[in-house]
């Protein structure tokens, strides 16, 4: 059956104390909203509608940069979760299939959970995701009647007896799309908050003879973020899961607690990640590659047998082929390094291509930026770049070519040629001894004077 996602993200998130809309605060390098969208992707939705309000422009940009097909609808006044879902009605008019409501600030719903909800839909009109709360606090309570969910009561409106219920509402709901909007249309706001509660649809559905039930998940899965402290807690939870998964996938993490992952980090089996490595978004490390301590990688691809670091930085567009070596204090950006090439020390390589088995000497810089434009450097296979070469792009060094140490290379160096761009050395015999004698005498005169 076709599925549509409705993701709520209009709330202000007052407790974040932030100019950034709550759902755009990142976990593992991606906005919470994107985590919710990724979770929802498990049901391969045909349509996704994000309900935005506070910071709607920013929310729209973030949602559409992740998935350009996402529709964003605006809820200009936040009149409650039921009202929020109602804003998606036009966008989903005529949609035949199920709708699943997710919250943009609840990033960790697992695919299996959504699949279980879809499965439960076979025998129930509405399926709500619930959990046993250690401390039910202010969550909505799920009032069961045998196997049926009878209604949901918000904490503010609950009796003492209802408040004693520990089965709580996560907010995730699945129902036939048309049924959902028909029910929402009947929701009023006569309650303690004066809001249109999405949760009221259960009581309304039951009164109309529809069937509702609950699928349960772990409390950690429905963790919602309302403050910076909870955001930090969510980050920590994400990291500990990512470390665990990496270990289970056959990755060696020498000190797991010191390695930080992005939401999309991909590490191959038998890759080795040494302590204090940080992954930004978009990094892939293939099987058998080693990332040595204190390296920072994002938007890059590291192939089999490559060794990166210690203290290396790979930025977006860094593409390392098999058996390459990138050593300490080397930064690589938007550059391909072909198989077996070495860039071992104190070097910046940006907007460049480096041929197979080329050797880049210590302190080399590709001078790629003129203040307005970026330019490319091409280095051929087997080339040898002398230490401290400045490659003023656009420039090419041919296959098997060389540059002399300390050269400023402004013109192409053909295959097999040596490029030298530095002043010739002058040697004056005995000059150092004379100079030292002179300075020594001067110092002695000064000390006498005092």
CA–CA separation, 48 and 100 (whole Å): 10
**Which is nearest to 41 in space by CA: 75, 9, 11, 69?**
69
CA torsion angle 103 104 109 115 (round to 10): 60
Secondary structure element (H or E) that encloses residue 266, with its range: strand 266-267
Pattern 252-291, binding to ligand UD1, x per CB under 6 A?
Answer: ----------------------------------------
**Binding of ligand UD1 at residue 10 (CB under 6 A)?**
yes
Q: Give the DSSP letter string of 191-234.
A: STT----TTHHHHHHHHTT--EEEEE--GGGG----SHHHHHHH
Beta-strand runs (E) in 13-70: 26-27, 30-31, 47-52
The pairing of strands 126-132 and 212-216 is parallel
Among positions 170-189, residues that touch ligand UD1 (CB under 6 A) are 170-171
Beta-strand runs (E) in 321-441: 325-337, 342-354, 359-360, 365-367, 377-379, 384-385, 390-392, 395-397, 402-403, 408-409, 418-419
Pattern 44-63, binding to ligand UD1, x per CB under 6 A?
Answer: -------x-x----------
The residue count for binding ligand UD1 (CB under 6 A) is: 28
* Position with the least CB separation from ligand UD1: 140
**Binding of ligand UD1 at residue 197 (CB under 6 A)?**
yes
User: Which of 35, 345, 375, 450 does the annotation list as catalytic?
Assistant: 345
162 versus 322: smaller Cβ distance to ligand UD1: 162
**Which is nearest to 131 in space by CA: 150, 148, 109, 111?**
109
Contacts of the segment 232-241: beta carbons below 8 A, 24+ positions apart: 234/27, 234/32, 234/107, 234/108, 235/27, 235/28, 237/108, 238/27, 238/28, 238/107, 238/108, 238/263, 239/28
| Angle ∠(268,317,335) on CA atoms, nearest 5 | 110
84 versus 183: smaller Cβ distance to ligand UD1: 84
- Minimum CB separation of residue 162 from ligand UD1 in Å reads 12
Q: Which of 224, 268, 404, 421 binds ligand UD1 (CB under 6 A)?
A: 224
**Binding of ligand UD1 at residue 25 (CB under 6 A)?**
no
Q: Which of 154, 286, 298, 323 binds ligand UD1 (CB under 6 A)?
A: 154
Among positions 86-115, residues that touch ligand UD1 (CB under 6 A) are 103-105
**Binding of ligand UD1 at residue 40 (CB under 6 A)?**
no
Is residue 375 annotated as part of the catalytic site, yes or no? no
- Minimum CB separation of residue 199 from ligand UD1 in Å reads 5
- Minimum CB separation of residue 203 from ligand UD1 in Å reads 12
3-state secondary structure of 302: strand
Q: Which of 6, 9, 33, 34 binds ligand UD1 (CB under 6 A)?
A: 9
Among positions 68-87, residues that touch ligand UD1 (CB under 6 A) are 75, 78-81, 83-84
**Binding of ligand UD1 at residue 11 (CB under 6 A)?**
yes
201 versus 365: smaller Cβ distance to ligand UD1: 201
**Binding of ligand UD1 at residue 221 (CB under 6 A)?**
no
199 versus 295: smaller Cβ distance to ligand UD1: 199
How large is the C-alpha radius of gyration of the chain?
Answer: 31
- Minimum CB separation of residue 38 from ligand UD1 in Å reads 16
**Binding of ligand UD1 at residue 215 (CB under 6 A)?**
no
- Minimum CB separation of residue 176 from ligand UD1 in Å reads 19
Q: With b meaning 16 or more CB within 10 Å and e meaning fewer, what string describes 130-165?
A: bbebeebeebbbbbbeeeebebbbbbebbeeebeeb
Give the active site residues. 345
- Contacts with ligand UD1 by CB under 6 A lie at 8-11, 51, 53, 75, 78-81, 83-84, 103-105, 139-140, 152, 154, 168-171, 197-199, 224
């Amino acid at each position: 059956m076709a599925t549509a996602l409705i993701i709520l993200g209009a709330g202000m998130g007052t407790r974040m104390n932030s100019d950034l809309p709550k759902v755009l605060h990142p976990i593992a390098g991606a906005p919470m909203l994107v985590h919710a969208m990724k979770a929802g992707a498990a049901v391969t939705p045909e349509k996704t509608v994000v309900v935005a309000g506070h910071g709607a422009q920013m929310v729209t940009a973030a949602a559409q940069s992740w998935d350009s097909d996402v529709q964003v609808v605006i809820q200009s006044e936040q009149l409650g979760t039921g009202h929020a879902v109602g804003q998606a009605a036009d966008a989903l008019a005529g949609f035949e299939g199920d709708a699943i409501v997710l919250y943009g600030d609840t990033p960790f719903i697992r695919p299996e959970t959504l699949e279980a909800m879809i499965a439960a839909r076979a025998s129930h009109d509405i399926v709500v995701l619930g959990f046993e709360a250690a401390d039910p606090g202010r969550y909505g309570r799920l009032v069961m009647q045998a196997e049926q969910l009878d209604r949901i009561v918000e904490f503010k409106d609950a009796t003492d007896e209802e408040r004693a219920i520990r089965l709580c509402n996560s907010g995730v709901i699945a129902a036939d799309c048309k049924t959902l909007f028909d029910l929402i249309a009947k929701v009023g706001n006569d309650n303690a908050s004066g809001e249109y509660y999405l949760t009221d649809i259960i009581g309304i559905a039951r009164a109309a003879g529809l069937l509702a039930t609950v699928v349960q998940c772990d409390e950690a899965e429905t963790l919602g973020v309302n403050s910076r402290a909870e955001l930090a807690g969510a980050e920590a939870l994400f990291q500990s899961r990512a470390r665990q998964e990496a270990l289970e996938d056959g990755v060696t993490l020498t000190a797991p607690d010191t390695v930080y992952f992005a939401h999309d980090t991909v590490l191959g089996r038998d890759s080795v990640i040494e302590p204090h490595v940080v992954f930004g978004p978009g990094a892939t490390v293939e099987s058998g590659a080693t990332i040595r301590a204190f390296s920072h990688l994002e938007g890059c691809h590291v192939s089999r047998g490559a060794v990166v670091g210690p203290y290396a930085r790979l930025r977006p567009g860094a593409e390392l082929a098999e058996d390459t070596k990138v050593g300490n204090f080397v930064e690589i950006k938007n550059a391909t390094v072909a198989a077996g090439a070495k860039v071992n020390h104190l070097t910046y390589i940006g907007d460049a291509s480096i041929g197979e088995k080329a050797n880049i000497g210590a302190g080399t810089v590709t001078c790629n930026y003129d203040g307005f434009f970026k330019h490319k450097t091409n280095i051929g296979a087997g080339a040898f770049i002398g230490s401290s070469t400045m490659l003023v792009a656009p420039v090419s060094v041919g296959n098997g070519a060389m540059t002399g140490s300390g050269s400023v290379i402004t013109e192409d160096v053909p295959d097999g040629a040596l490029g030298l761009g530095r002043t010739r050395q002058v040697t004056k015999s005995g000059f150092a001894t004379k100079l030292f004698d002179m300075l020594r005498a001067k110092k002695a005169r000064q000390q006498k004077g005092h």
